[in-house]
Chain A
Amino acid sequence: MPPKAKKGPSDKAKGGEDEREDPLQAVILADPFETRFSPLTLERPRCLLPLANTPLIEYTFEFLANAGVEEVFVYCGAHREQVEEYIKASKWSAVSSPFSKLELIRSTSHSIGDAMRDLDARGLLVGDFLMVYGDVVSNLPLESALAMHRARRAKDKNAIMTMVLREAGTHHRTKAQGISPIFVIDPTKDRCLHFEQMPNKEQTHYLSIDPELLSDNQELEIRQDLIDCGIDICTPDVLALWSDNFDFQAPRKGFLHSVLKDYELNGKTIHTHIVTDHYAARVRNLHAYNSVSKDILSRWAYPLCPDSNLLQGQSYRLQKGNIYKEEGVVLARDCVIRPKTVIGRGTSIGEGSIISNSIIGRNCYIGRDVKIEGAYIWDYATIGDGCDVKQAIIADEAAIGNKCTVEPGAVISYGVKIGQGMTIRGDRRITRAKRRKEDGEDIITGEPNIAIVGEKGDGFEYQDPESEDEDEVVDGLVPGGPLYTMANLSLSVESISTLNSDIEDDEDDYHPQRSAAGSFVSIGSTDSHASEHAANFDHDAAASIYDSLVEGHESANVQLELTSLRMSTNASEHQVRRAVVVAFVKRIAQLMKAGTSVRDAVAQVFGQHKELLDRTMFDKDLSGKVDQVDFMLLLQADLARKENGDIILLSAATKLVEMDVIEEEGMQQWWADVKSCEAEEMKRVREKTQQLIDFLEQSSEEESSEEEDEDEDEEDDSE
């Protein structure tokens, strides 16, 4: 397509030189790095799941083509190869594609934040761009939103982002159910001032707003009635902000929330464009899958309807009552097709079956006297005679035996076989795949669980690694009560962790301390969201130190890296120490596994990095050795769960005293600290260190002036 820039030269002059002739670019985040569609996403990427028998990403592409986007970058996460293959074969990469450029970006990102930072590093985006997810369904023309965005940009360089939001009343099936996003908006400037995600639970109907917002703005709108369809018009500054903040992971909860809070700091404003017509929604979870499917069938998303036959080779036709049938459907004479149903090619439906409100894919076989209501049955599925299926998802090639009942909310994944006469409870999610399919390798199938799938069945119940997630997904298909927990929020952060799980476990133990440290920092600095960043700092810092230890970097370099990381996330001293401890202990454990003796391992790890350790504690001259105690506590806690933790603790403590990293007073204060002997585990791990303490006490009593010499002797004695 030629550039369709039809703007006059006068406009350009107004709009500033840098805005001219930029083709409209878009980034599709094909993988939102969530597990809400598990186990369906174990074998197929989310963006290729069929919505009304058309892969989700088609809708996104249609939307972009509709909006006149010219260059598209697709960010793949899991199942990259499948996405690539699909896009290569699709019309979007053909010559006739409305996009002049369609590029797939491979990256090893594990969160949206990583993806954005990666994108910034690549420098592909030249001007304003659209950021959407691979699951957006919308028929919205973006002209006015873009025009307003540009107008704001021309006036104020700091208007970096415009979010497109759809108004949707107080109750709406397509709105996010578990957590409502809350936007505080200045209606005079369409500026978003505050953002929060509020769980839909009875007890937490509070929103905390900065009092300054109330005094600074004449008018405020606090809106909860908006569908956040994840369509953002961004400027390159947005990417820069992502890069500046290592810890942003989620675009709304992380990025938006923080940027708005830090308005004083960075001066960036984010605006909203609220539309009251056209359709815009995201298929963010199974519940949304259900409601968006319904919207599409009821033609709310027109012209994105099955009978538009978006995909090549589709031949859906609309019949009265929103029944969409493709050519080549075989219907028995007395089966009943009720309204709002889609039936794909090659599907046959047996006598006496009743289908209503359902979407059935291609080449399915549905037996006699089957009742299907509100179900989503994908391609090549088989449903035996006399079954009763309600509001469930039955994925490709799944087979359900005769006289089964599938209760509302069940998800039956690819290739699962259910034996005769079984009842699948609504909270079950049955799969054959053990874990996410990596590129190229075959699916690893688990042992069938006969109790669930019955005789001759295949499949087992899917256990979500993040158990908190479960109730959300179950809630997914069946519109039940709001069962959500706040845990779903943190999920996106946690599930992406690539690091040893030690850190997370640790987090729980020390949570009170951590948040205290966080709030302390927030008082000290303008940064008030330090605690939020903490977890990310822990990951990054510990990982980077650990890597340096393995590769044997100079202490000074490690120090430098750590400092920069600390600065960028405004982490507390406590966190730095934590990161150091975690990394050191991990390294020691690794060395020991490799056959090194405890002493050597400790000597090797601690000995080389005296400088680094010194820089984590700043209380040498004080009488109360708070930092040193803290360090020791962290070490103790970390070792409490390690094998041979007590031995390591002893030799580490000895080494530290020997190196004079921890002073004797520090050691003794630690020993006396309540926290170090509170829990059973903590007590156990420090038992062996008793000898060191005893010795230290003796020596300090005898000759308090010659500590150093004593230390050396004492070390020999103690071991």
Chain B
Amino acid sequence: MPQGAVAATPGLQSFIKSLKSTPVEPSIEHLISLLKRRQIRSSRPCAIATAALLLRVVGEVRGRDAGKLLRRIREVGKRLTAAQPREVVVGNIVRRVLGLVREVTEDNADTDTNANSEMSHSFHAQHDSLHRPQLSSSISTFSPLKNAVTEPLDTNLHQSDISESAEPAKRPSLQTSHTSYAQSTPMIGSLFGLFSHPDTPSTASTPTGFQSPAGKDSSITALNLDRLADLSTSKVDLKAEVLDGIRELQDELEQSDDLIAANALDHIHSNEIILTHTASTTVQKFLLAAARKRKFTVVHAEAYPNDHTATHATVLTGKKRYDENDDAEDQWKPLTAAGITVVLIPDSHVFAIMSRVNKVILATHTVLANGGLVAAAGAHMIAKAAKVHQTPVVVVSGVYKLSPVYPFDVDELIEYGDAGNIVPYEDGDFVDKVDVDNPLYDYVPADLVDLYITNLGGHAPSYLYRIVADHYRAEDITL
């Protein structure tokens, strides 16, 4: 607003700002009402807000009790998802954080095991059975040394916590604790590391065996013995680790677009005709990354009536007009400035032009565990048209949009929006006599998608369940 609108409509920005000054409970309510009022909408803002809120929630939780922490996060998560069940991303973030907590506690249990192992090795086996397979992808900054140094433990406490909060803890483990240490060592940096080395086995599947357990054990125990006396630091650690994890998650949210864009050159080739849809930031960055090296043509379907203004703005300026992230660094140029020909077409022309299109790139609202996706209305039609013409459909999406939810009832996932976008409300006769449905999203079944590109790399739709298993704990899937 040129004249300095004092009362900006509340949204993500105002929420993040207020988060610092408001106590936790009101902040939760605040987010809930923003979600209900749709003032924070679409996946990324929701994810950012949720992560920021959980950071506060975890920071506020007192005590060293992991079970309490889990319960608290779960409770908050339940309320948030109930507020807006169709923003699946909120649930995803909550589940990620829950997984984070579990992982930290289990790691603690590990170190503890190590410490105890010197005294009684009979204990070892028992502990291992308590310990679920390590999900090293979520916490990648662990080095065994640091771990050992900073995590002395109260064994009994954690044991009881785990058994009370996580039933499947009794499941036989596929690997020992040592493997997880060994494995996490090369993965300092980001999650991307894991998948950039396809050789690295998924922890859930194959144990890699022992890597010099003896040597490690000895060093750890030596350190641990010193720390055993000082138990008070443990709660600080649990929290600190989780907080670190959440911050990392926030980083992931921030970087995922760039990581996705890094794959662009592998998928977009010179002189191709690419069809896309909606004003997705992820897609724009993806295309821009490719545009640096290659020349191609983009056909942009305008996503009328819910997203067309943003789409037009994106085509013209490279940026949604009312984009939340107003930082200077986000000032990117439109594709046309990079020398790309962009053709804006109405959605109805998609089928006609599909025969000439080499590749369809779709943005998404949510990716579901079965490989299907929920995307802006019109996506289904595009995907179907692509199928008819055997045009490959590529979906770009951050891992945070990947949900463990299985679409048993597709209708539940589709939100119906303002009918006024389709028919002007002024048309009194129409309003009175005709019912207008305006679905905001489409469900695109998995068989219409050829490839997913996430910040971890490219995957076939049928492979998504593996990523789901890596990121979410089975016990967290129902919040």
Contacts and interface: CB of A to CB of B under 8 A. Distances in A.
Interface of A: 1-2, 4-8, 11-12, 14-15, 21-24, 62, 65-70, 91, 94-96, 98, 139, 141-144, 146-148, 150-151, 154, 166-175, 225, 276-279, 295, 298-300, 302-303, 308-310, 315, 317-322, 339-340
Contact of A340 (B1, B17, B435): B435
A235 to B, nearest CB: 14
A147 B30 contact: no
B396 to A, nearest CB: 28
B406 interface: no
A96 B30 contact: yes
B411 interface: yes
A699 B29 CA distance: 89
26 contacts: A2-B14, A2-B21, A6-B4, A7-B3, A7-B4, A21-B6, A65-B10, A69-B7, A98-B33, A143-B1, A150-B5, A151-B3, A154-B3, A166-B425, A169-B427, A173-B431, A225-B426, A276-B424, A276-B426, A277-B425, A295-B431, A299-B438, A300-B431, A302-B418, A310-B36, A315-B82
A24 B37 CA distance: 19
B7 A4 contact: yes
Nearest to A318: B416
Nearest to B4: A7
Contacts of B389: none
Contacts, number: 162
Interface residues of B, number: 47
Contacts of B198: none
Nearest to A70: B7
Nearest to A320: B411
B200 interface: no
Given A95-B25, A299-B418, A300-B419, A4 B435 contact: no
Given A2-B21, A300-B418, A320-B411, A67 B7 contact: yes
Contact of B14 (A1, A67, A309, A317): A1
Given A4-B6, A146-B6, A147-B3, A173 B428 contact: yes
Contacts of B26: 94-96
A277 B421 CA distance: 8
Given A171-B429, A276-B426, A147 B33 contact: no
Contacts of A171: 428-429
B209 interface: no
Interface string B12-31: 00100110011101111110
Contacts of B425: 166, 168, 277, 279, 300
A7 B6 contact: yes
Contact of B417 (A67, A144, A299): A299
B8 interface: yes
Given A1-B10, A6-B8, A147-B2, A299 B36 contact: no
Which of B1, B83, B436 has most chain A Cβ within 10 Å? B1
A170 B428 contact: yes
Contacts of B417: 299, 302
Contacts of B5: 7, 143-144, 146-147, 150
B10 A15 contact: no
B27 to A, nearest CB: 7
Contacts of A11: 3-4
Interface in B448-467: none
B8 A68 contact: yes
A1 B33 CA distance: 13
A309 to B, nearest CB: 7
B38 interface: yes
A91 B83 CA distance: 14
Interface in B400-427: 411-412, 416-420, 424-427
A148 B426 CA distance: 23
Contacts of A70: 7
A143 B4 contact: no
A4 B1 CA distance: 13
B435 A339 contact: yes
Which of A1, A276, A278 has most chain B Cβ within 10 Å? A1
Contacts of B33: 65, 91, 96, 98
Which of A98, A151, A168 has most chain B Cβ within 10 Å? A98
Q: Which 3 A-B pairs have the closest CB atoms?
A: A7-B4, A96-B29, A172-B428
Given A168-B428, A298-B436, A320-B411, A96 B1 contact: no
A8 B4 contact: yes
B17 A2 contact: yes
A65 B37 contact: yes
A91 B39 contact: no
A170 B17 CA distance: 45
B37 A150 contact: no
A44 B407 CA distance: 44
B432 interface: yes
Nearest to A9: B4
B6 A24 contact: yes
Contacts of A7: 3-6
Nearest to A175: B428
B156 interface: no
A94 B82 CA distance: 19
Nearest to B29: A96
A257 to B, nearest CB: 26
A142 B7 CA distance: 9
A172 B435 contact: no
Contact of B9 (A14, A67, A302): A67
B4 A173 contact: no
Contacts of B2: 147
A143 B8 contact: yes
Interface string B192-222: 0000000000000000000000000000000
Contacts of A14: 3
Nearest to A168: B426
Contacts of A154: 3
Interface string B248-288: 00000000000000000000000000000000000000000
A96 to B, nearest CB: 3
Contact of B431 (A12, A172, A317, A319): A172
Contacts of A5: 4, 6
A322 B435 contact: yes
B426 A169 contact: yes
A266 B409 CA distance: 63
A308 B27 CA distance: 19
Contact of A2 (B18, B23, B412, B420): B18
Nearest to B85: A317
Contacts of B18: 1-2
Contacts of A277: 420, 425
Nearest to B436: A298
Nearest to A63: B37
Which of B6, B7, B416, B435 has most chain A Cβ within 10 Å? B6
A300 B3 contact: no
Contacts of A67: 7, 9
A557 to B, nearest CB: 47
B7 A144 contact: no
A62 B37 contact: yes
A23 B8 CA distance: 11
A95 B23 contact: yes
A68 B37 CA distance: 12
Given A8-B4, A170-B428, 8 more contacts: A7-B5, A24-B7, A96-B30, A147-B3, A225-B426, A298-B435, A302-B419, A308-B37
Contacts of B9: 66-68, 141, 143
Contact of A300 (B1, B30, B83, B420): B420
A143 B7 CA distance: 7
Contacts of B27: 96
Interface string B83-116: 1000000000000000000000000000000000
Contact of B1 (A69, A144, A175, A295): A144
A322 B417 CA distance: 11
Contacts of A142: 7
B81 to A, nearest CB: 12
A96 B19 CA distance: 11
